[in-house]
Amino acid sequence: MSIIKVKEQTITQALACAKPGDTIVLSPRVYREKLVVSVDNITILGDKSGKSVIVYDDYAKKIHADGQEYNTFRTYTVNVIADNVTLKNVTIINDAMFPQAKGQAVALSVLGNNFLGQNLRLCSMQDTLFCGPLPDDLVVRYNGFLKDNERYFEGQSTQVYLNCNILGSVDYVFGTARAFFKNCTFTNVNDGRTTAYVAAPAHSLKQDVGFVFLNCTFNAESDVLDNTTYLARPWRDFGKSTFISCKYSSHVKDTVFDKWNDTFRDKTARFEYYPKLKGLNAVSWAKPINRQAANWYKAQLNKALYEIKNK
């Protein structure tokens, strides 16, 4: 195991020299590059000042070198396809902006298993954080479009995010991962649309843990209006999100959750919360859970952290 300090070179150049077990230490500067992390069991460590910034600006409607649009899943600034990767003290930005004209713009995409993100700042508008892998139907659809190591059936990824600040406007946490968010802040930004959504889960029915938000804060920038943001809507039928002991600002919609346009996903989505949502009247198909169930999710987070730290 070795420490690789990134000074004049790019992070991509540092990763080309990295081996499993290495730590890549970033300087407090802006790295304008599109990054793929494909080395297992490494740590990328930013400066504690928060000034280690990775930024790029690809977007869904941009034309790729292959003549096709980028599509959501090629727009990432950072794509983690390796297992047992840790990112700490890093800001990751997709600064394409203007999603109504440009489409989705992913800042961080995580496909690997046992991922830990700590003290991250993730910034975009639509689709900021993709907690992969893809839903199975998209694995089929994107055969020949995405690389094989970015699409696989029956994928399962465990991801933990601690003390992160995630900014976005529409579906800015989405995917199928078993993902835990503890002490994170989710900040809505104004992209010009009148309705916003935080989470868009797409879990399969056999997954007993989806997105778990524990002791998180949901707020908004000053130009976001009250009663305009849903906490979650199901990207696929059995999408699951659980909110435990979180704090909510006035931008959250009174009904809290949305069923996704003209679908019947209110019949299949699995949205839960604990304790009761004060001042809000959540839709009837979202279920309150008891303290015992909330403690079970906390135990699952602790188990995931143990497995990650003892990888």
d(CA 50, CA 93): 13
- pLDDT of 1 > 90? The answer is no
| Cα of 206 vs its chain's centroid, Å | 21
Q: Which pLDDT score is estimated for 7?
A: 86
pLDDT digits (tens, 9 = 90+) for 206-218: 999 999 999 999 9
d(CA 62, CA 217): 33
From 3.30.565.10, 2.60.260.20, 2.30.40.10, 2.160.20.10, which CATH number describes the 31-309 domain? 2.160.20.10
Nearest to 89 by CA among 54, 55, 134: 54
Give per-residue burial for 19-40: e unless 16+ CB within 10 Å, then b. eeebbbbbeeeebeebbbbebb
Angle (CA) 214-216-220 rounded to 5° is 155
pLDDT digits (tens, 9 = 90+) for 161-186: 999 999 999 999 999 999 999 999 99
Domain boundaries, the chain: 31-309
d(CA 76, CA 70): 10
- Quote the pTM value: 0.98
d(CA 223, CA 109): 28
Cβ atoms of 77 and 34 within 8 Å: the answer is yes
Q: Which pLDDT score is estimated for 155?
A: 77
